[in-house]
Structure 1
Amino acid sequence: MTSEKGLRIAPGVEVGEDELDENFIRSSGPGGQNVNKVATAVQLRFDVVNSPGLPERVRERALHFAGQRATKDGVIVIEASRFRTQEQNRADARERLTELLARAAEPPPKPRKKTRPSKGSVERRLKEKAGRSGVKKMRGKVTSE
């Protein structure tokens, strides 16, 4: 969600407007002659490491989810050039940043506990396999003795 103050990601997680740095660059792709004249693509930069509105665990997870979009200095760079207008690309870039930070704000999933099959279920499985094996062996060639 976008507000006058910036982006509201989740309860207790907000990004101020002054923390977002937008540069408009020339876009590749469709647009005809316009593509060579107007800078419609948006390059949105967000300094995750120095953001006061993010808790520490959200910062770490955001950098992890950003992958190659994050620089060594901890800045997430999102380029949006899907649309032909600056406004649409700007909204697209902000939406993608919001989604990434919302994913980072979610609590991590609980680790999986290893389980073992019960002794009875193992015995039943092996008995079933032996039974199948016997059925298949009986399908062999018929010999007259």
Structure 2
Amino acid sequence: MFRTYSVLRNLSRQCNRRLLMQRENPASSVACGYKSHVSIDQLYPSSNPDFLRKKTEFQNEEQTLEKFEGFIPVDQLEISASRSSGPGGQHVNKVNSKVEMRFHLQTASWIPDWIKPRLLQQEHGRVTKDGFFVVRSDMTRKQMLNQADCLNKLRNMIYKASELPPEPTDEEIQLKQKRMAKAKAGVLREKRNRSLIKQNRTSPEF
């Protein structure tokens, strides 16, 4: 009982001392409270106590980027239909079942700006000289099903372009550095061998 009372009295004195220091120097706001002797700031005074909560730059960048929600406004697309190729009898020659869907990539407000260059790089064969992104489908003999297939293709392309590459681990970085060093050593060895071959080709001096 007496020991508990002495501990509380010492703790109260420490709090009063800190409050007095805070009043004398308001810039140094020291909180009054109990901290264990095995806390991070006691064991490592110069370390950051929130290092476990610190996120990498890649994760922060991924959170700040605007995401594609999957919504594609059909009214902002140019949709046209034509005769489909392939087998199907006389029905193919009578019905416009093939669907072509296009839109201007740079002015599409429903696609985040950071995804557009990645989409252009991955699907550069679908972009015309005027900057229109074209998707076609003649999978079925129904125009509405082909239109849905075009939307599904376009949605999957945008999702694929929005996937950021995973952050490389320390082992992968070290392995890449070893491979680069090995490749450079091989190039130097090849140059040295080639130089020796040329030196042996010269005529001897008498």
In the alignment, structure 2 segments of 5+ residues that lack a partner are 1-66, 180-206
Q: 1:109 to 1:71 in 2, by over 3 A?
A: farther
Per-residue deviation, 1:55: 2.0
| Contact residue 68 and residue 112 of structure 2 kept, 8 A | no
Aligned equivalents of 1:86, 1:60: Cα separation in 2: 31
Aligned residue pairs total: 108
Per-residue deviation, 1:109: 4.4
- Matches of residues 105-120 of structure 1 in structure 2 within 5 Å? 105-110=162-167, 113=173, 114-116=176-178
Match among 91, 94, 102 for residue 151 of structure 2: 94
In the alignment, structure 1 segments of 5+ residues that lack a partner are 1-8, 118-145
Name whichever structure is richer in strand by fraction: 1
The residue number in structure 1 matching 2:84 is 27
Counterpart amino acid of residue 38 in structure 1: V
Name whichever structure is richer in helix by fraction: 2
TM-score, normalization by structure 2: 0.47
Q: Cα RMSD (Å) of the superposition?
A: 2.1
TM-score, normalization by structure 1: 0.66
Over residues 69-100 of structure 1, what are the superposed CA-to-partner deviations in whole Å (9 max), with x where a residue is unaligned?
Answer: 11122211111011111111111111101111
| Greater Rg over alpha carbons, structure | 2
Aligned equivalents of 1:52, 1:107: Cα separation in 2: 21
Per-residue deviation, 1:107: 1.7
Aligned equivalents of 2:129, 2:121: Cα separation in 1: 12
Per-residue deviation, 1:110: 4.2
Secondary structure in 2 aligned to 1:36? Answer: coil
Match among 97, 102, 109 for residue 40 of structure 1: 97
Secondary structure in 2 aligned to 1:56? Answer: coil
The residue number in structure 2 matching 1:68 is 125
The residue number in structure 2 matching 1:81 is 138
Over residues 5-41 of structure 1, what are the superposed CA-to-partner deviations in whole Å (9 max), with x where a residue is unaligned?
Answer: xxxx834x64322221110011001221011111100
